[in-house]
Chains A and B, each alone.
Chain A
Amino acid sequence: MKPCAAFVCFLWLASVSPALAHHSAAAEFDFNAKIDLSGVVTKVEWTNPHAHFYLDVKDSSGKVMNWNLELASPNVLIRNGWKRNSLKPGDMVTVTGIRAKDNPAFGSASVITFPDGHKLTFLAAGDSER
């Protein structure tokens, strides 16, 4: 791999390695099972070892699936600009990430995009994908 700008690498890492924390991400998530979801946030858990949010996603037949999406821990998020209400129930968002191996409605959120274009990531607040 060609060395990239360190900050870009950091962000890329954030997008591909959802859990530099207390367990092996490789054991939990399929790095190749990309998800791209749009829906309404139904709940936010500002908890350790990971924050979670839940997203109602409607498929083409109108059936709604409630996804459980994982973020870093609140201490990591806070140091990277997140606030506990950066994401709230009722928010309409688009989420990219990867899916768990053993649960079809559980994922690790890489990037959360709001209708106005602003973004949050697994680790950080701000338009950090650029």
Chain B
Amino acid sequence: MIRRTAALLLSGTVSAILGVVAQQAVAQVQIGDKGKTGTIGLYRNQRLPSDGPAPKLADGTPDLSGVWLGSGSDSADIADPKSLKPGSEVDMLPWAQKVVKGRLSKQDPEANCLPAGIPRGSPYPWRILQTPTHYFILYEGNIHSFRQIFMDGRAHPTDPDPTWYGHSVGHWEGNTLVVDTVGFNDKFWFDYKGHPHTEQLHTIERYTRTDLGHMSIEVTIDDPGTYTKPFTTVGRATLMPGAELLEYICQENNQDLPLLEGPARGPGGR
């Protein structure tokens, strides 16, 4: 068996590594008779995607279906320059700066088993389903919910009721799925640090399957109620070939909440 170690970028701190792991695709690769296996995110001994081009559906539409792990931003700190598009910066209005400073970890909606929103990710995989009129993203975790993206050409409603995942319409630009979402409530946090938003939030997600096993995800976040200018995050996802979604009902036995102390911060403390 040939064994090689793929690049796992490690900086000197635990927190930096923690930030990487949720989006980390492949930490170790083993190549044997049955194809490549290795670690994807938190998961060991997984089948790794084969090399090859991004597939297409019979009508030529890019095929994004499958179980994926990864996200479009740094879930520990969305403002970390390492997960921002070059030239982008997160510049909060004064009220938002004050809110971030005052937030506590135990107030994090995700810690309360509420949705992570967009584009915050989790260590759990998700699946994209494509139908002619609707695309769905099925989330294993956070919170075992789903998003629906209307692909039938409809417009956003003029006065949408605010919701956790908003109202999403999608279209294709070449091989990139562009998802435009408005109608968010103001409840979810962009990250463990508690970066906020208002109901004015407008996101544009760009999903590009760059090859068989990988997808790039860019998300432009425009919320003039919270940030002085739009910014764009960059992330990626890795296909988990053969994987199936499992159940994750966060509300079942959430014993952690009363034990969370102190200011909102990432898993490793940053």
Is B96 in contact with chain A by the CB < 8 A criterion?
A: no
**C-alpha gap A118/B101 in the complex (Å):** 45
Is A123 in contact with chain B by the CB < 8 A criterion?
A: yes
Q: Given A23-B108, A27-B265, A101-B261, check contact A7 B252 (CB 8 Å).
A: no
Q: Return chain A residues, CB-CB under 8 Å to B123.
A: 20-21, 76
Q: Return chain B residues, CB-CB under 8 Å to A75.
A: 124, 140-141, 246-248
Whether B10 and A103, one on each chain, are in contact in the complex, defined by CB atoms closer than 8 angstroms, is no
**C-alpha gap A22/B243 in the complex (Å):** 21
Is B94 in contact with chain A by the CB < 8 A criterion?
A: no
Shortest Cβ gap from B209 to chain A (Å): 23
A97-110 interface code vs B (CB 8 A; 1 in, 0 out): 00011110010000
Beta-carbon contacts under 8 Å, A10-38 to B? 10, 13, 16-17, 19-28, 31
Whether B253 and A24, one on each chain, are in contact in the complex, defined by CB atoms closer than 8 angstroms, is no
Whether A47 and B252, one on each chain, are in contact in the complex, defined by CB atoms closer than 8 angstroms, is yes
Q: Given A13-B17, A80-B44, check contact A6 B260 (CB 8 Å).
A: no
Contact of B266 among A24, A45, A78 (CB under 8 A): A24
Q: Return chain A residues, CB-CB under 8 Å to B179.
A: none
Q: Return chain B residues, CB-CB under 8 Å to A72.
A: 42
Beta-carbon contacts under 8 Å, A81-95 to B? 81
Q: Return chain A residues, CB-CB under 8 Å to B124.
A: 73, 75-76
**C-alpha gap A21/B259 in the complex (Å):** 15
Beta-carbon contacts under 8 Å, A43-98 to B? 45, 47-50, 52, 68, 70, 72-76, 78-81
Contact of A1 among B10, B250, B260 (CB under 8 A): B10
Whether B21 and A20, one on each chain, are in contact in the complex, defined by CB atoms closer than 8 angstroms, is yes
Whether A6 and B5, one on each chain, are in contact in the complex, defined by CB atoms closer than 8 angstroms, is yes
Contact of A16 among B5, B14, B113, B264 (CB under 8 A): B14
**C-alpha gap A37/B44 in the complex (Å):** 27
Q: Return chain A residues, CB-CB under 8 Å to B148.
A: none
Whether B264 and A24, one on each chain, are in contact in the complex, defined by CB atoms closer than 8 angstroms, is yes
Shortest Cβ gap from B38 to chain A (Å): 9
Whether A26 and B256, one on each chain, are in contact in the complex, defined by CB atoms closer than 8 angstroms, is no
Whether B122 and A22, one on each chain, are in contact in the complex, defined by CB atoms closer than 8 angstroms, is yes
Shortest Cβ gap from A68 to chain B (Å): 7
Among residues of B, the one whose C-beta sits closest to the C-beta of A49 is B250
Is B22 in contact with chain A by the CB < 8 A criterion?
A: yes
Is B73 in contact with chain A by the CB < 8 A criterion?
A: no
Is B111 in contact with chain A by the CB < 8 A criterion?
A: yes
Whether B255 and A81, one on each chain, are in contact in the complex, defined by CB atoms closer than 8 angstroms, is no
Q: Return chain B residues, CB-CB under 8 Å to A16.
A: 14
Shortest Cβ gap from A35 to chain B (Å): 15
Shortest Cβ gap from A24 to chain B (Å): 5
Shortest Cβ gap from A86 to chain B (Å): 15
**C-alpha gap A73/B254 in the complex (Å):** 11
Contact of B256 among A1, A10, A50 (CB under 8 A): A50
Q: Given A7-B28, A10-B28, check contact A20 B46 (CB 8 Å).
A: no
A-B contact list, 19 entries, CB within 8 Å: A10-B44, A20-B18, A23-B110, A23-B260, A24-B108, A26-B266, A27-B106, A28-B261, A47-B252, A49-B250, A74-B246, A75-B248, A76-B42, A79-B46, A79-B246, A80-B44, A81-B44, A81-B45, A106-B259
Contacts A102-B258, A102-B261 known; list 10 others, CB within 8 Å.
A3-B8, A13-B14, A20-B123, A24-B108, A24-B269, A28-B105, A48-B253, A68-B255, A75-B247, A80-B44
